[in-house]
Amino acid sequence: MTAQIIDGKAFAATVREKVAGHVTRLKEENGITPGLAVVLVGEDPASQVYVRSKGKQTVEVGMNSFEHKLDADTSEADLLALVDQLNNDPTVHGILVQLPLPKHLNEDLVINSISPEKDVDGFHISNVGLLGTGQKSMVPCTPLGSLMMLRDHHGSLSGLDAVVIGRSNIVGKPMAQLLLGDSCTVTIAHSRTKDLADVVRRADIVVAAVGRPEMVPGDWIKPGATVIDVGINRIEREGKNVLVGDVDFASAKDVAGAITPVPGGVGPMTIACLLANTVTACCRANGLSEPEGLTA
Ligand code: NAD
């Protein structure tokens, strides 16, 4: 058996198309242009790449992009003042502070200073609590994108056994909450889980978010299961620098029913969902009905 490959790149393009449609409608019918502000502190090369593609894709769907680049030695007070200014700016509907921040800045403090309604990354403690209690919130982009692909593939997820490997606040925990919200029976596995292989073998849905190259071999996967590989790991293979996931794609694709590749799976969905969250935030801020299919 060969798994269906879930094409995240194509899926992300359809999400961006939907977002662009809503942006057009907001401009034409309401005279509002959704705006996303991205704050980058310092010169981390990976962060610079992310911020650049976020800005580019924001403009491509017709939204306003506001980029704020601050020096690595920016004080906490100055960063908080900028966030406060963006919180109070009615043309800004989404605010994203690119992580990681330089060591002298308190990430929790900065994230929790963003207005929860504009927290398009979904990391504010209020959004975490709202998601945990099944209320309307801003949902972290990577888990939201993973959920969209799972819903698209399965229709209903109700009653399915889901195993999430990884318990980070950014991916693992919100992913587990979303799956629970869709009535899966959810297990969160992590670095101290005993008999991980046996735990994974029970799953109809496996979400791997660990950051260890190809750690999940095909023989851990239940035949026909759906595999969402969140991991992005850069390794050397045959003298080349390549990206691989947390799942051993070569062996897993012969067992799984469906699987996301790396690259081209979850990765492209993350920025698409950031744009989706920004449109959602804009609609909510203006008391308009939310775009369908773009929220959890
Ligand atoms: P993290 O380091 O914060 O968390 C990793 C988790 O894996 C931890 O909870 C830990 O308990 C668990 N873990 C570590 N070793 C383990 C083991 N041997 N067995 C089982 N569990 C183990 O990482 P993160 O931020 O959640 O990211 C995870 C991966 O997803 C990384 O590769 C990251 O690059 C990738 N990622 C991708 C996207 C995307 O857009 N596709 C977004 C965010 C993260």
List of residues 6+ apart from 252 with CB closer than 8 A: 3, 216, 217, 218, 221, 227, 259
Nearest CA to ligand 1 atom 1: 168
User: Per the omega criterion (within 30 degrees of 0), is the bond before 263 cis?
Assistant: yes
Of the candidates 121, 182, 229, 248, the residue annotated as catalytic is 121
Give ligand 1 pocket residues (Cβ under 6 A).
Answer: 142, 165-168, 170-172, 189-191, 193, 196, 209-212, 230-233, 266-267, 270
Indicate if 106 and 148 belong to the same structural domain. Answer: no
Indicate if 188 and 260 belong to the same structural domain. Answer: yes
Centre of ligand 1 to C-alpha 107, Å, is 18
- For residues 235-247, one letter each, b for 16 or more C-beta atoms within 10 angstroms of the residue's C-beta and e for the rest, the string is eeeeeeeeebbbb
Indicate if 169 and 67 belong to the same structural domain. Answer: no
Look up the CATH number of the domain holding residue 101: 3.40.50.10860
Indicate if 88 and 179 belong to the same structural domain. Answer: no
* C-beta separation of 283 from 289 below 8 A: yes
* C-beta separation of 228 from 123 below 8 A: no
Indicate if 92 and 185 belong to the same structural domain. Answer: no
Helix crossing, 45-60 with 266-285: angle to 10°? 60
User: What's the pLDDT at 97?
Assistant: 98
Indicate if 93 and 184 belong to the same structural domain. Answer: no
What global pTM score does this model have?
0.98
- The answer to whether residue 25 is domain-embedded is no
54 is catalytic: yes
Nearest CA to ligand 1 atom 30: 231
Indicate if 106 and 160 belong to the same structural domain. Answer: no
Indicate if 254 and 170 belong to the same structural domain. Answer: yes
- The answer to whether residue 204 is domain-embedded is yes
* C-beta separation of 267 from 279 below 8 A: no
User: What's the pLDDT at 8?
Assistant: 98
User: What's the pLDDT at 182?
Assistant: 98
User: What's the pLDDT at 221?
Assistant: 98
User: What's the pLDDT at 208?
Assistant: 99
Low-confidence residues in the chain, pLDDT < 70: none
User: Per the omega criterion (within 30 degrees of 0), is the bond before 100 cis?
Assistant: yes
- The answer to whether residue 62 is domain-embedded is yes
- The answer to whether residue 47 is domain-embedded is yes
| Domain coverage including residue 109 | 31-115
98 is catalytic: yes
Q: What tokens appear for 62 in the block?
A: 């017709």
- For residues 49-69, one letter each, b for 16 or more C-beta atoms within 10 angstroms of the residue's C-beta and e for the rest, the string is ebbeebbebbeebbbbbbebe
- The answer to whether residue 21 is domain-embedded is no
User: What's the pLDDT at 151?
Assistant: 98
User: What's the pLDDT at 93?
Assistant: 98
Centre of ligand 1 to C-alpha 172, Å, is 8
> What is the full DSSP assignment across 239-254?
TEEEEE-SB-HHHHTT
Centre of ligand 1 to C-alpha 271, Å, is 18
User: What's the pLDDT at 271?
Assistant: 97
- The answer to whether residue 17 is domain-embedded is no
Centre of ligand 1 to C-alpha 64, Å, is 31
- The answer to whether residue 3 is domain-embedded is no
**Ligand 1 pocket, mutate which of 171, 229, 262 (most atoms under 8 A from CB):** 171
- The answer to whether residue 127 is domain-embedded is no
Indicate if 148 and 109 belong to the same structural domain. Answer: no
Look up the CATH number of the domain holding residue 241: 3.40.50.720
